[in-house]
Amino acid sequence: MKKGLAVIFGVYRFMSMAIATCNTIGNSVATVVVARWSGKFDAEVARRHLYPERYPDVA
């Protein structure tokens, strides 16, 4: 019984990392989709935040 429980907890540890990653990506995509849908998304501002090394003068 104890070995089975250890296997379940071991697998759940990796599954929880995958679940958290999936939730983070899903929330990010949903935010962009809703912003575009409502007309509030600014692609230039998004580029500045995603690639700050390309825009050194804007801090």
Read off the pTM: 0.65
Q: What is the pLDDT along the chain (59 residues), one digit of tens a residue?
A: 567 777 777 788 889 999 999 999 999 999 999 999 999 999 999 999 989 898 888 75
Residue 33 Cα distances to 20, 26, 39, 43, angstroms: 20, 10, 10, 12
pLDDT at site 1: 57
Q: How many CB atoms lie within 10 A of CB 41?
A: 14
> 3-state DSSP helix/strand/coil percent for the chain, to nearest 5?
80, 0, 20
Q: Give, as one character, the DSSP assignment of residue 42.
A: -
pLDDT at site 55: 87
